[in-house]
Structure 1
Amino acid sequence: MYAIIETGGKQYRVSEGDVIRVEKLRAQEGETVELDRVLAVSDGEKLMVGQPVLENAKVTATVLKHGKGKKIIVFKYKPKKNYRRKKGHRQPYTEIKIEKIEVS
């Protein structure tokens, strides 16, 4: 059984027991979160697709940890004008473990 969920403006294909990194959520480590933006659910034989979301489906997950991704460098410059700007960025994330996919 798998589900396609949306969180943080991105879509993820998840199954029970999966560990994924999503955009930072406002939840403490060890807390349980419910993701109710479920776009589709499949049990192996039957595929249920929402328009745009399934009303009676939810995915329960546990927050494992919060962190920051790898650093990327943003470098701007204009040739021959002595203009240079160097900036780094690390995107915050939340690592969650999918516990249960429910469809009623």
Structure 2
Amino acid sequence: MYAIIATGGKQIRVEEGRFVDIELIAGNEGDTITFDNVLLVSKDGKFQVGTPSVSGAKVTGKIVKHGKGPKLIVYKMRPKKHYRRKNGHRQPFTRVMVESISF
């Protein structure tokens, strides 16, 4: 059984008992979180697709940790103008353990 949820401007496939990294959300480690914006639910090969979301469906999970992703380097340069900018970025994320999918 799996579901597709919308959170943080992205659509993410989640399964029960699996970890998923999502955009940073408010909450402490160990808190329970509920996602009500479920776009699709699949069980035993049968799909239920929402328009735009499946009514009555929800995904619950537990916040495992907050962290930062890998460092990305952004380098800007204008040739012959002596313009050089080097910037680093690490995207914050929240790791969630999916506990149940219900609909």
TM-score (norm 1): 0.96
Instruction: Give the C-alpha shift of residue 14 in structure 1.
Output: 1.2
Please give the alpha-carbon distance, in whole angstroms, between the structure 2 residues aligned to 1:79 and 1:15. 49
Instruction: After TM superposition, list the pairs within 5 Å mapping 1:1-104 onto structure 2.
Output: 1-103=1-103
Residues 12-68 of structure 1 show CA distances to partners (whole Å, capped at 9, x for unaligned) of 111110101100011110000001110000111421100111121000010000000
Q: Where does structure 2 lack aligned partners over 5 or more consecutive residues? A: none
Please give the alpha-carbon distance, in whole angstroms, between the structure 2 residues aligned to 1:6 and 1:44. 22
Please give the alpha-carbon distance, in whole angstroms, between the structure 2 residues aligned to 1:32 and 1:75. 39
RMSD: 0.8
Instruction: Give the C-alpha shift of residue 10 in structure 1.
Output: 1.1
Q: Where does structure 1 lack aligned partners over 5 or more consecutive residues? A: none
Instruction: Give the C-alpha shift of residue 11 in structure 1.
Output: 1.2
Structure 1 stretches (4+) deviating beyond 2 angstroms?
Answer: none
Equivalent residue of 2:58, what SS? strand
Please give the alpha-carbon distance, in whole angstroms, between the structure 2 residues aligned to 1:82 and 1:97. 48
Please give the alpha-carbon distance, in whole angstroms, between the structure 1 residues aligned to 2:4 and 2:42. 9
TM-score (norm 2): 0.96
